[in-house]
Structure 1
Amino acid sequence: MPASPPSDQPLEPSGIDWDAGGIETELGWSLQAMSQGFARIATGAVADVPGGPRGYQVLVAITTEAPTSQLVLAQRLGIDKTAMVYVVDALEGASLVERRPDPRDRRVRQVLPTDQGRALLGAARAALRGVEGQLMRNLSPEEQEQLRRLMARVALDSGAVESCIGVVADTEQPVASPHLSARRRRADVRDTTPPEKSTPS
């Protein structure tokens, strides 16, 4: 069988032949390979944070977004509610966060960072950026920034994507946009009491 004629288009620096349609061109393969590679090198960067990557994400969220409850945090980060309790307990035990009553509704307890928590987050964030640079070492700084922005946009919309058979994709927890209005956030925080069940007549 004669070999296929060489393509007129030169291969990109990575050596991927997009016209061949190999496994490298599949988004699912790329996402999985990136996730596995990131997990291998990033775990050490957040090793000093109780709860590991989940504890790190909690610290990022509570230091960059409006104060909110543990329940809303769990929904925001896509973490199981029970697991979130253990993560916040561990962070609080290390004096990295504290729970305070919400001044608007004292039945709700907000999760807030301490000065010690902010300091540890800064150190962990710097270490994480270093290993992220290793993972993306074959990209220019401009390409790295573009990749971050594109992936963030896709991630924010992923919870609303329907599957190929028309059924809403099954995710552990919905991921809320960080751009929710303050009014919507306050409503979410207050909405922690389950509705009463109707009594059958």
Structure 2
Amino acid sequence: MNESTQEHPSNATATVPGDLGWHLGMVLRGYQTRFETAVAEMPAGIRGFQVLSTVVHKDPPNQQALGTHLAIDRTVLTYLIDTLVKAGVVERIPDPSDRRARKIVATDSGREMLADHEERVAAAEADLLSGLAEPESLALASLISRLAMDVHRAQPGSSPCEAMDHLP
């Protein structure tokens, strides 16, 4: 306990400007470590999971929309999709509205793999939040979601993958 919290026990959770970044960084590190472990068997790891999850849950109309949603460069996305196609978890089909474009769809095997990995990710997230009471973890998830959407609206091209890649 530092000097200021010893003098003012009610301030035990008070922060100074700049602490938010440290706190977010520590939470992100803890999340990243658990997430990497949970999806270690997924082709292409975290990014493979994100692509497969987006394909299944968001159903983007084509590969370009998928890349835009995930803020992944199209060249990188092509390699990721190639890896997932080779693993048999997604396939490219012609976009019904534009035969020149390709839609990425999950295979049955991909859907099964995603369901298995989502259980692992949910357990990893529960582990990370285990120090909080359930109402606190639900409130935190809601607040972070709201904040993330505000940041995304203000900086629509921002890549959360890139942010994780550049952690010190």
Give the TM-score of the pair, scaled to structure 1. Answer: 0.70
User: What's the CA shift for 1:158?
Assistant: 0.8
Aligned 1:23-42 pairs, distance under 5 A = 26-42=19-35
CA gap of 1:75–1:98, structure 2 versus 1, over 3 A, is same
- Are residue 65 (structure 1) and residue 58 (structure 2) matched? yes
- Are residue 171 (structure 1) and residue 145 (structure 2) matched? no
Q: 1:51 aligned to 44, 47, 50, which one?
A: 44
- Are residue 117 (structure 1) and residue 110 (structure 2) matched? yes
* Whole-Å separation in 2 of the counterparts to 1:75 and 1:87: 14
User: What's the CA shift for 1:31?
Assistant: 1.4
User: What's the CA shift for 1:17?
Assistant: 3.3
* Whole-Å separation in 2 of the counterparts to 1:156 and 1:37: 22
8 A contact 1:100–1:110 mirrored in 2: yes
Q: Which amino acid aligns with 2:137?
A: Q
Match of residue 7 from structure 2: 6
8 A contact 2:53–2:114 mirrored in 1: yes
Percent of aligned pairs sharing the same letter: 32
User: What's the CA shift for 1:22?
Assistant: 4.5
Unaligned 5+ segments in structure 2 are 161-168
Unaligned 5+ segments in structure 1 are 162-167, 174-201
8 A contact 2:60–2:66 mirrored in 1: no
User: Which aligned segments of 4 or more residues in structure 1 are displaced greater than 6 angstroms?
Assistant: none
Is the radius of gyration larger for structure 1 or structure 2?
A: 1
User: What's the CA shift for 1:37?
Assistant: 1.2
More helix by proportion, 1 or 2? 2
- Are residue 149 (structure 1) and residue 168 (structure 2) matched? no
* Whole-Å separation in 2 of the counterparts to 1:105 and 1:29: 46
Match of residue 180 from structure 1: none
Match of residue 87 from structure 2: 94
User: What's the CA shift for 1:125?
Assistant: 0.7
Q: Which amino acid aligns with 1:17?
A: T
Match of residue 13 from structure 2: 17
- Name the count of aligned residue pairs: 157
The alignment partner of 2:7 has SS state of: coil
* Whole-Å separation in 2 of the counterparts to 1:82 and 1:149: 33
* Whole-Å separation in 1 of the counterparts to 2:42 and 2:156: 31
Match of residue 183 from structure 1: none
